[in-house]
Amino acid sequence: MTHDKLLVLGGTGFIGRCVIDHLVARGCSVRVATRRRARARELLVLPTVEVVEADVHDAQALRRLVAGRDAVINLVVVLTGSSWSLIGGAPG
């Protein structure tokens, strides 16, 4: 099974940009959801990337974003105050 139509959540961060560069180099069609389109300027010039301004915490918006995609890559990190947390808790 090939996954060449992907949705990337959290694609405007450092890791997200690296992942997207790799996917584009493989010829994948990548849809990137972002809260602020201005943060995705570098991604807008990539030929197989579609940047969509959306709230990924809105179930209806998320359903629209996922439509027609083969897979979803979730790189969203929740920042709180001076610490940050991932699934499994904040680092020491």
Query: What does the buried/exposed string (b/e) look like for 6-33 if buried means 16 or more CB atoms within 10 Å of the residue's CB?
Result: bbbbbbbeeebbebbeebbeeebbbbbb
Question: Does pLDDT of 92 surpass 50?
Answer: no
Q: pTM of the predicted model, to two decimals?
A: 0.80
Q: What is the CATH number of domain 5-85?
A: 3.40.50.720
Predicted pLDDT at 49:
97
**In angstroms, rounded to a whole number, what is the distance separating the alpha carbons of residues 63 and 60?**
5
Predicted pLDDT at 57:
87
Question: Does pLDDT of 8 surpass 90?
Answer: yes
How many other CB atoms are found less than 10 A from the CB of residue 51?
19
Question: Does pLDDT of 15 surpass 60?
Answer: yes
**In angstroms, rounded to a whole number, what is the distance separating the alpha carbons of residues 76 and 86?**
9
Parse the chain into domains and list their residue ranges. 5-85
Bridge partners of 5, per DSSP, are 29
